[in-house]
Structure 1
Amino acid sequence: MASCSMLTPPSPDRTARFADDFAKRVLLTVDTEEEFDWDAPFRRDGYGLDHVEKLARFQTFCEEIEAHPVYLVDWPITQDKRAVEIIGEAVKRGKAEVGVQLHPWVNPPFDEEVTTFNSFAGNLPSDLEAAKLTGLRNAIEDAFGTAPIVYRAGRYGLGDSTADLLKASGISIDTSVRSLFDYSAQGGPDYTHHPLTPYWIDDERTLLELPVTSVYWGVLRQLGKSLHRAQRHVPTFFAGFSKLNLLERIALTPEGVTAEEAIRGIDIALDDGLPLLVLSFHSPSLAPGHTPYCRNEGDVEQLYDWFRQVYGYLGQRAVTSATLGDVLSSVKR
């Protein structure tokens, strides 16, 4: 049994505090992964990596807008020479960082049945979760020449044992918590009541959580968590509030969220005093036809335009890009 749980909201005394000169930073995380059919059952094979060559354009673009991407790579990415070359070169130049993203269904050892429930790594037996995590962590260090210090569970699938496994693997930052989202209907975690602000997972303050940023917008935003719980029983309940501009959940991602919506979310997060914004998206969206969000070249260009607008606005709000080193050196223990 883990000594600390990542599945329950932390107590207020776990809130992370940062040095005064750190506030108003942004961290760009990229779920860097294989291509697969999002509407089909999970499978160990049959995936693609054709979009990997598009990472070069994205990295160049990030440097132009002064973004500092953190590529959270999974097993198939570590086995792809092109991905290792493109990401590794940026990492060596200090223009990007690399971390761990565990997709258990494509990550050896393959000792579990491939199911939706088992797609959340935290649902696996702890020894199997540990074996997959350790193998991936070592593969990343071998491929990129640097030991990863940040983790994201694929599908945000933390478990009771994950915290201890991360600490044993030398991981000091987790960014698996997607605040305000609930995956329990599929057998995954419920993050409805997890905070948006960074917090310590353990009493020793050696494992830091950086939740993926999502906020509520609208006149009913203070009731957002309660209303989302009601949606479990009335699926169309929340949609009605969104259409009436009474309540909207805004995730800071270019996938399914417009730049205008994201900017509203940024304003809310900053005005509420959130010290660090964590953006995210999936690398297959960099090429058409691999995700529901980028079905054609026009959609891909819109994704790039989203980043232009969002980072332009972040600059207006005096928000600067953070590195993982910035975070760890500025957090108070």
Structure 2
Amino acid sequence: MLTLPQADQAAHFASGFAPASILTVDTEEGFDWDKPFTRDQHDLTHVDRIARFQSFCEGIGVSPVYLVDWPIVQSAKAREIIGDAVSRGAAEVGVQLHPWVNPPFEEEVNTHNSFAGNLPPELERAKFSRLRDAIEEAFGTPPISYRAGRYGLGPATKSLLHDMGIKVDTSVRAYFDYSHQDGPNYEDFPNHPYWVAGETPLLELPVTSVYRGLLASAGPQLFPKLARIPRAPGVASRTGLLERVRLTPEGTPLADAIKGIDAALAANLPVIVLSFHSPSLAPGNTPYTETEEEVDRLYAWLDGVYAHMARRGVTPSTIAQALAAANAG
């Protein structure tokens, strides 16, 4: 999973599918992002807000992908809201593994072990299996997609996903490096979809980030160097030389996101994968939505982004549709 793909592994999609977009939601417990990881210091007070979000998505013609972790699948309210949408074909459900809150609890809770791919393979598998089975039981459908919490893929994850029936992974956050926390380094990974080689190929749909600016073509080589120089990325962005744009309502202004979408389309990116965390649907859970006004701005961001993508001919899609189109491409 952590091997750079070769050019011949790029995914090609059936005629008429691209460009498409997928809205993924890291559907998880709320916890203090500034404090150490714990087994039990979290809450699910934002879950009621998922109903408003689902209604909003249906209003703009989008079927979100809820990447569900253990505390969420244990919530009767979450099962009710998400399950209703899934049963109506208005949403998809996938797997998201936060190992520190997912049984069995055998490892020490720390930053290193917060990346599931760092765990002993048998423990990563045991946690994943418990979660996958709980999701299928709760929502009546076997999940086919996965996002490792904290984007934490590991050397044993590929065989695990193969054995568990997962067809699509969306854990790679292209152009980002988590090695300073003992996590994976995706700085050199592409942002376009590709097939992970193996006995049964796995479709990788990276979370979309793009480089834009005069030096965008050199972004993968240049930006990591700039990031190690204080204030250099900000200077490069303000001068129009180079900017890394994350396609998320969490910390990316709408105007920048629109420019990022245009950059993705100019680069012929076939699938744009948007993402955010479900606790941001209620104030006070994440640094991005500390007030109701900021929650409203998250919705305004989504509204603006989807209006712009509609003007640019980008069609809302789902992971299942993307997989079918890739298999036919």
Q: Within 5 Å, which residues of 2 pair with 1:137-156?
A: 137-156=132-151
Query: Paired residue for 1:66?
Result: 61
1:124 to 99, 119, 125: 119
The C-alpha deviation readout for 1:61-81, integer Å capped at 9, x for no partner, is: 000011110000000000000
Structure-2 residue corresponding to 1:40: 35
Equivalent pair of 2:227/2:233 in contact (CA under 8 Å): no
Q: Could you say what secondary structure the match of 2:275 adopts?
A: strand
The residue matched to 1:49 in structure 2 has which SS?
A: coil
Letter in 2 for 1:149: I
- Shift of residue 204 of structure 1? 4.0
* Equivalent-residue separation in structure 2 for 1:331 and 1:121 (angstroms): 27
Counterpart AA for 2:285: H
Aligned equivalent of 2:314: 319
Alignment of 1:177-256 (within 5 A): 177-231=172-226, 233-256=228-251
Taking a change above 3 Å as real, the CA distance of residues 165 and 203 of structure 1, as seen in their structure-2 partners, is: closer
Secondary structure of the residue that 1:245 maps to in structure 2?
coil
SS in 2 for 1:52: coil
Shift of 1:232: 5.5
Once the two structures are superposed, what CA deviation does each residue of 1:181-226 show, in whole Å capped at 9, x if it has no partner?
Answer: 1111111111111111110102445311000110011112122222
Residue 14 of structure 1: how far off its partner (Å):
0.7
What is the one-letter code of the residue matched to 1:101? Q
> Normalised by the size of structure 2, how large is the TM-score?
0.97
What is aligned with 1:83?
78
TM-score norm. by structure 1 comes to 0.96
Query: Please, which runs of 5 or more residues in structure 2 have no aligned partner?
Result: none
Equivalence for 1:331: 326
SS across alignment from 1:51: coil
Distance change (3 Å), C-alpha of 1:21 and 1:327: same
State the alpha-carbon separation in 1 of the partners of residues 227 and 326 from structure 2.
37
Structure 1, unpaired ranges of 5+: 1-5
What is the aligned partner in structure 1 of residue 26 from structure 2?
31
- Mark the CA change 1:235 to 1:127 in structure 2 (over 3 Å): closer, same or farther: farther
Match of 1:176 in 2: 171
Q: Say whether 1:271 aligns with 2:266.
A: yes
Decide which of 92, 102, 106 is 2:101's aligned counterpart: 106
Aligned pairs, number: 328
Residue 231 of structure 1 deviates from its aligned partner by: 3.9
Tell me, in whole angstroms, the C-alpha distance in 2 between the residues paired with 1:257 and 1:78: 29
Structure 1 contact 227–238 (Cα < 8 Å) conserved: no
Q: Displaced runs of 4+ in structure 1, greater than 4 A? A: none
Render the CA deviation track for 1:73-99: whole Å, top value 9, x for unaligned: 000000000000000000000000000
Q: Distance in 2 between matches of 1:163 and 1:235?
A: 37
CA–CA distance in structure 1, aligned partners of residues 6 and 71 of structure 2: 37
Farther off after superposition, 75-84 or 228-237: 228-237
Matched residues in 2 for 1:185 and 1:236: separation? 19
Contact persistence 1:230–1:237 (CA under 8 A): no
